[in-house]
């Protein structure tokens, strides 16, 4: 019975711990599996000495696709289930904005995929920059607009439409066009193209960004600019043109709103796998980027684990944002060490 007590305690401890995984640089590199990631998830999905599921969710600054196809794609790469209900990408919490705005401009991403994302979130009238270029190509003088793009765009007379908010969901694929249209809208009267507000602030429509990363790793030897640098460019242009600071809202790691949203997701996931809607006491965030995963996790009181398979290239620990639980060669080592400590 002592053995039973011991395993009873362990089961209790297993239900009181949980993991939050960053995706890029921890479990995968783009579409390529990091093999230790698969093994780590197998263990948490029940292949452990207790045969018990250990709760975990995914929290990524990735973007540009609806949640379900992205989860399907990740499940396939990882060979382990990634359920939509345990998955948060940068723009996921922005679905809550759908009840506040009717017509919105959605910026970024490949083709028209972010239009699909916004429609799935419940935004009723979703405009993308190409709809505006198709209405008036002179708005973006350097844009080369193909017939194919014209056919798939959805133009209307935008001088008769008020765009109520701007949502940057993903990386801009055409800075010149997107920045021009965003600046035009920010300077307009209540989001009506073809107008110029007399007071730049009181008639300005709000702008939201799904994440703030300056850089993003890619195939290129040096990380490429991401939404954060795009935003800084816009802020500087707006300030130079109007003399005013641009107020804006940013989602994603390391913003607080995203971690609060993660708590909700962890709790409902706990309910799903253990029948109890509560937050595990000991949460571990495993990330590769000190400036987003680790700084945000530390501020939120999670145990943070920094891995060496992604952005972080430093020595013993990151100097500015050291991981509280330590630095690990990969995600499997981080998971094993955390489990050893808790169980």
Q: Which residues bind ligand G3P (CB under 6 A)?
A: 22-25, 60-62, 213, 216, 226, 289
Asked if 24 is part of the footprint of Mg ion (rule: CB under 5 A), the reply reads: yes
Nearer to ligand G3P, 22 or 130 (CB): 22
Window 263-322: residues binding Mg ion (CB under 5 A): 288-289
Nearer to ligand G3P, 180 or 226 (CB): 226
Strands 32-33 and 28-29, how do they pair? antiparallel
- Window of 22-30, 134-142, 171-179, 266-274 that interacts with Mg ion by CB under 5 A: 22-30
Nearer to ligand G3P, 22 or 67 (CB): 22
E runs forming strands in the chain: 17-21, 28-29, 32-33, 56-59, 87-88, 103-107, 125-127, 165-168, 207-209, 215-216, 224-225, 249-250, 282-287, 303-307, 326-328
CA 292, distance to chain mean position in Å, is 11
Question: Nearest distance from residue 322's CB to ligand G3P, in Å?
Answer: 19
Question: Nearest distance from residue 289's CB to ligand G3P, in Å?
Answer: 6
Whole-number Å distance between alpha carbons of 36 and 18: 18
Q: Which of left, alpha, beta for 90 (phi over 0: left; psi -120 to 50: alpha)?
A: alpha
Nearer to Mg ion, 131 or 288 (CB): 288
Whole-number Å distance between alpha carbons of 21 and 14: 17
Nearer to Mg ion, 25 or 254 (CB): 25
Question: Nearest distance from residue 190's CB to Mg ion, in Å?
Answer: 38
Question: Nearest distance from residue 187's CB to ligand G3P, in Å?
Answer: 29
Question: Nearest distance from residue 113's CB to ligand G3P, in Å?
Answer: 15
Nearer to ligand G3P, 185 or 216 (CB): 216
With contact defined as beta carbons under 8 Å apart, do 289 and 25 qualify? yes
Question: Nearest distance from residue 214's CB to ligand G3P, in Å?
Answer: 9
Of the candidate residues 18, 25, 55, 64, the single one contacting Mg ion (CB under 5 A):
25
CA 89, distance to chain mean position in Å, is 4
Characterize 6-21 residue by residue with b for buried, 16 or more Cβ atoms within 10 angstroms of its Cβ, and e for exposed. Answer: eeeebeebbbbbbbbb
Stated as kind and residue range, the H or E segment containing 22 is none
Q: Which residues bind Mg ion (CB under 5 A)?
A: 22, 24-25, 288-289
């Amino acid at each position: 019975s002592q053995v039973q007590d011991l395993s009873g305690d362990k089961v209790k401890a297993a239900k009181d711990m949980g993991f939050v995984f960053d995706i890029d640089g921890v479990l995968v590199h783009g579409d390529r599996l990091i093999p230790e990631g698969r093994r780590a998830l197998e263990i948490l999905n029940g292949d452990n000495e207790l045969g018990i599921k250990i709760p975990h969710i995914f929290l990524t600054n990735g973007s540009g696709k609806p949640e379900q196809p992205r989860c399907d794609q990740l499940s396939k790469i990882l060979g382990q289930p990634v359920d939509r209900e345990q998955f948060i990408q940068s723009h996921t919490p922005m679905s809550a904005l759908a009840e506040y705005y009717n017509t919105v401009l959605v910026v970024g991403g490949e083709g028209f995929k972010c239009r699909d994302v916004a429609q799935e979130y419940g935004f009723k009238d979703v405009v993308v920059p190409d709809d505006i270029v198709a209405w008036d190509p002179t708005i973006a003088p350097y844009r080369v607009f193909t017939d194919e793009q014209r056919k798939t765009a959805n133009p209307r007379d935008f001088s008769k439409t008020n765009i109520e908010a701007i949502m940057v969901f993903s990386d801009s694929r055409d800075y010149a066009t997107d920045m021009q249209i965003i600046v035009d809208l920010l300077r307009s009267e209540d989001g009506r193209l073809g107008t110029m507000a007399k007071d730049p602030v009181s008639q300005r429509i709000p702008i939201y960004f799904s994440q703030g990363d300056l850089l993003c790793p890619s195939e290129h030897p040096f990380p490429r600019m991401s939404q954060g640098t795009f935003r800084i460019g816009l802020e500087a242009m707006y300030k130079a043109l109007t003399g005013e600071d641009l107020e804006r809202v940013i989602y994603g790691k390391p913003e607080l709103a995203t971690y609060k949203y993660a708590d909700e997701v962890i709790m409902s996931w706990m309910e799903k796998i253990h029948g109890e809607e509560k937050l595990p006491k000991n949460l571990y965030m495993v990330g590769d980027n000190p400036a987003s995963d680790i700084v945000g996790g530390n501020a939120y009181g999670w145990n943070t684990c920094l891995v060496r398979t992604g952005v972080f290239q430093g020595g013993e620990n990151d100097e500015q944002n050291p991981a509280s639980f330590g630095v690990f060669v990969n995600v499997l080592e981080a998971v094993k060490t955390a489990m050893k400590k808790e169980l």
